[in-house]
Structure 1
Amino acid sequence: MDAYYGASHVLRDIDFSVQGGEIVSILGRNGVGKTTLLKSILGLEVRTLGTITLDGKDITGRPTYLRARAGIGYVPQGRELIPDFSIRDNILMGCYARADRRRLVPDLVRDLFPYLRDNLGRRAGLLSGGQQQQLAIARALASEPRILLLDEPTEGIQPNIVEQIEDTIQRLNKQIGLTIVLVEQNVKFARAASQHFCVIEKGEIAASGAIDALTDDIVRKHMTI
């Protein structure tokens, strides 16, 4: 797959697969195309050439809302919440992508995020950065995704909440079997949580494989500033 913003060629010859029930970490320096890769999968703001398949079905020509309804959830970098909406209403925004169109706060969200559960009427703009990140994940889970795309979910968050978010990601994968594509800068967490990795450098795949193959040499070569 190749991806473009206008005439700018951002991703070149990207070819990777994600098996059901695994976490794949997308690694690399800032500005190499990691976010563009996630947006390409969901069909957001990016023109692509090539083929994207989900469960063997070609979804390349589908609009974003149909890809979401097919089971792709997305937690964007920066969270993109509606600050004047309540926690409940932000979560319910994710329900528009549900196949059954039901609007409810899932039991899974109530179990994973006790603070959100106990403060559903609180405005999203009043939450801390870590609480907002939890809310962004909760909104994505409200769509009942089969695949969750997470764009740097621990960036700029206080350390105690980082641990909670990392634990949540691993619980979603190990206990529920949710497939996750994770853009991450924290190599230690990527190694602990992922089964496979993909390193992007200048818009191309520079290294990939089973997580055990993510050596310190690869990290130094493609991630050290």
Structure 2
Amino acid sequence: MENMQARDLYSFYGKSPVILGVSFDLDPGEFLAVLGRNGVGKTTLLKSIMGLTDRCEGGLAFGSQDILGLSTPQRSKLGIAYIPQGREVIPQFTVRENILMGTFARPDGKRDIPDYLFEMFPILDEFISRRGGDLSGGQQQQLAIARALAMDPKILILDEPTEGIQPNIVKQIEDAIVRLNRERGLGIILVEQNVPFARTASDRFLVLDKGRVVLSGKSEDLTDDVVEKHLTF
């Protein structure tokens, strides 16, 4: 399994830098929570990892490979899966067709849907022929995660996966993310507003403010004082 390293990463929209000198490491199978108030650059950091901003400078490596010069599809084929805010499920496609889309990023060319996806999200098996646009928000989030997992990734990047989700499904999604990390060894990078979940699920965290890392540490260092200083509104 590969690790990921960002070194002095700058990311731009047009000529304006939004990420300013960010560095972090993600060891194989590690869970990193990215925290911060609204508008501080958390989503932009995830998009930078996937090559979805206008320009990046600095260092970003996956394993021994520098990936800053790679396209988004090339990064996906290395095993980096990204689930954005809004989920981006294709509404007119069925659940099966949405999941199968994820397999096209597999480097081995396989087009099989892994059985464990339906064990983890039974509702998707039940609704396999239903159109994605007919699912609830929570069901669409489960579908988006399943689609990303169908590419057999090494790292799963999630941007606020429980935002706007009905409470009874939030726990299912949180449990699934933890299982993927601890049972299947997936590296996780998670942007999350739910600090108690980030504290219990992650190995390490970093806090962004105005595009910079202002604090980082192990999950046990995410104390109430830290939350009060950096994360309350």
Q: Could you say what secondary structure the match of 1:218 adopts? A: helix
1:76 pairs, out of 64, 84, 92, with 84
Aligned with residue 105 of structure 1, among 113, 119, 125: 113
1:51 has 2:48 as partner = no
Gaps of 5+ in 2: 1-8
Q: Is the 8 A contact 1:73 1:141 kept in 2?
A: yes
Percent identity reads 57
In 1, Cα distance between equivalents of 2:37 and 2:232: 8
Q: Measure how far apart 1:103 and its partner are.
A: 1.6
Native 8 Å contact 1:36 1:46 kept in 2: no
Q: Distance in 2 between matches of 1:221 and 1:160?
A: 30
State the alpha-carbon separation in 2 of the partners of residues 61 and 173 from structure 1. Answer: 28
Structure 1 residue 66 corresponds to structure 2 residue 74 = yes
Which structure has greater strand proportion? Answer: 2
Aligned-partner residue type, residue 11 of structure 2? A
Letter in 1 for 2:86: G
**C-alpha distance in 1, partners of 2:54/2:44?**
7
Q: Can you list the C-alpha shifts for 1:35-82, whole angstroms capped at 9, x where unaligned? A: 111111111134100111111221111111110000100111110111
Tell me how far apart the structure 1 counterparts of residues 188 and 76 of structure 2 sit (CA, whole Å): 14
Correspondences of 1:165-184 after superposition (within 5 Å): 165-184=173-192
Aligned length: 225
Partner SS, residue 147 of structure 2 = helix
In the alignment, what sits opposite 1:190?
198
Matches of 1:103 and 1:62, distance apart in 2: 24
The offset of 1:109, in angstroms, is: 1.0
Residue among 126, 131, 154 paired with 1:123: 131
> Which amino acid letter does the alignment assign opposite residue 68 of structure 1?
S
2:209 to 189, 198, 201: 201
- State the distance in 2 between where 1:121 and 1:45 align: 35
Kindly report the root-mean-square deviation, in angstroms, between the aligned alpha carbons of the 2 structures: 0.9
State the match for 2:3 in structure 1: none
CA displacement at 1:223 relative to structure 2:
1.2
Please tell me whether residue 136 in structure 1 is matched to residue 161 in structure 2. Answer: no
Give the deviation of 1:108 after TM superposition.
2.1
Partners in 1 of 2:192 and 2:64 — Cα distance? 27
* TM-superposed deviation, 1:218: 1.6
State the 1:210 CA deviation: 0.7
> What is the TM-score with the length of structure 1 in the denominator?
0.98
SS of residue paired to 1:220: helix
The answer (yes or no) to whether the contact 1:39–1:46 under 8 Å persists in 2 is no
The partner residue of 1:42 within 35, 44, 50 is: 50
Determine helix, strand or coil for the equivalent of 2:21.
coil
In 2 relative to 1, CA 3–212 (structure 1 residues): closer, same or farther, beyond 3 Å? same
